[in-house]
């Protein structure tokens, strides 16, 4: 008979959190979660999740909710890398403060294992790509700095208080359920939403920035093993393909071809502190977690197009305040051009 475990997922209405919850429920486990619904959709939450509509920064509430929990997945994050240069308080408070709240409550409740979802932003600009876990971290925006600080704090507190931990570093995840009416993040979703409305995508800089994109199901599988297996405990592990490295221009062209859309991108000045080339090695994940990719980039984008078409294209919701507005702030946000 399969063992039944109790998992807690922060950001369970979000893109990654909801997919992880769905997979754990299918395995017969109990899943509890929280979400403040800033970065996700309520209908993302799978039936069977015990949902609490709270912000994970509320430590007192988290201390109540984590009683009896065995494994915590901290997937909640204001993942606004570019925006963090212009709204640093909002992003840093959520990323760092929220993480400290959750890990503190987990330790107090004697949770067995804590899986922290960090970010490829921890690496910043490196002289060598792909990024490997043993590189010195050089985060170059408030989001990356906060993510790395949160990661270091998790490691510190877990080692002091004896809670198992794993640091996951997923990057550029795509797939159905990703928020696509958010003008501040999710480049592929933004492009699809615009093109389905007959509008041209906006590209920052020359579009020759390069990224690797990871389909969500290919992230969920190794994340689940991080919650159970012995091998990843105490490790930092990149999760994402290292064989599909493309420019933003190529991404736009691929989406346009799948939509049969006549592409003529609108180019805007580059965003401050953006990393030009960012992709990670998956060697460690392959070794410790039997990581593999099952979905090509094109098939992943096709599934996103199907999802957004079904829900319907949406106007972009400028739901977050700009704290710093000056000549460096992108016009896309100041003038609400999406």
6-174+213-239, CATH topology level: Rossmann fold (3.40.50)
- Cα dihedral across residues 302, 210, 241, 148: positive or negative: negative
Q: What is the mean pLDDT of residues 260-277?
A: 97
Q: How large is the average pLDDT for residues 152-170?
A: 98
Could you read off the pLDDT of 34-56 as tens digits, one per residue? 999 999 999 999 999 999 999 99
Cross-strand pairs, 115: 73, 166
Q: What is the pLDDT of residues 205-230, one digit of tens each?
A: 999 999 999 999 999 999 999 999 99
CB 138 within 8 Å of CB 123: yes
User: ∠ CA 137-143-145 to the nearest 5 degrees?
Assistant: 35
Give the residue from 302, 293, 274 showing the smallest Cα distance to 81: 274
10 pairs with which residues across the strands?
A: 34, 74
Q: What is the pLDDT of residue 244?
A: 85
How do the domains of the chain map onto residue ranges?
A: 6-174+213-239
* Mean pLDDT for the stretch of residues 291-306: 96
| Residues 21-33, mean pLDDT to the nearest whole number | 98
Residue 302 has pLDDT above 60, yes or no: yes
Q: Is the model's pLDDT at 270 over the cut of 80?
A: yes
Average confidence (pLDDT) over 229-252:
96
The answer on pLDDT for 4 being more than 90 is no
- Paired tokens of 248: 């933003």
Q: How many CB atoms lie within 10 A of CB 183?
A: 21
Q: Strand 245-247 vs strand 173-174: parallel, antiparallel, or unpaired? A: unpaired
- What is the secondary structure of 205-220 as a DSSP string? TTS--EEE-EEHHHHH
DSSP 8-state class, residue 94: I
* pLDDT at 2 (0 to 100): 67
Average pLDDT over residues 152-173: 97
Does the pLDDT value for residue 1 go beyond 60?
Answer: no
Token pair recorded at residue 117: 């979802």
Kindly state the average pLDDT of the residues 252-261. 98
- High-pLDDT (> 70) share of the chain, %: 99
- What pLDDT is recorded for position 69? 98
């Amino acid at each position: 008979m399969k063992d039944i475990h109790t998992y807690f997922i922060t950001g369970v209405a979000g893109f990654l959190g909801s997919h992880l919850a769905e997979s754990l429920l299918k395995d017969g486990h109990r899943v509890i979660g929280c979400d403040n619904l800033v970065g996700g959709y309520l209908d993302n939450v799978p039936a069977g999740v015990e949902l609490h509509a709270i912000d994970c920064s509320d430590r007192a509430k988290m201390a109540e909710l984590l009683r009896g929990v065995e494994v915590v997945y901290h997937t909640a994050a204001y993942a606004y890398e570019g925006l963090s240069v212009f709204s640093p308080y909002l992003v840093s408070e959520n990323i760092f403060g929220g993480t400290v709240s959750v890990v503190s409550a987990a330790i107090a409740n004697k949770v067995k294992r804590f899986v922290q979802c960090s970010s490829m932003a921890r690496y910043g600009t490196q002289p060598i790509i792909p990024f490997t876990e043993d590189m010195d971290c050089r985060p170059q925006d408030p989001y990356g700095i906060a993510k790395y600080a949160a990661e270091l704090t998790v490691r510190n507190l877990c080692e002091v208080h004896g809670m198992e931990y794993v640091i996951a570093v997923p990057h550029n995840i795509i797939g159905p359920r990703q928020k696509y009416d958010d003008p501040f993040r999710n480049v592929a979703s933004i492009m699809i939403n615009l093109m389905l409305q007959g509008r041209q995508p906006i590209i920052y800089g020359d579009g020759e920035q390069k990224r690797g994109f990871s389909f969500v199901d290919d992230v969920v599988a190794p994340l689940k093993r991080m919650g159970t297996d012995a091998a990843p405990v105490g490790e930092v592990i990149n999760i994402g393909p290292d064989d599909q490295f493309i420019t933003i221009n190529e991404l736009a062209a691929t989406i346009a071809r799948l939509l049969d859309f006549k592409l003529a991108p609108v180019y805007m000045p580059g965003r401050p502190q953006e990393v030009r080339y960012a992709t990670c090695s998956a060697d460690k994940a392959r070794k410790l977690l039997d990581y593999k990719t099952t979905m090509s980039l094109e098939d992943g984008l096709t599934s996103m197009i199907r999802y957004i078409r079904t829900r319907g294209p949406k106007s972009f919701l400028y739901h977050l305040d700009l704290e710093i507005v000056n000549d460096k702030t992108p016009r896309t946000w100041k003038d609400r051009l999406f």
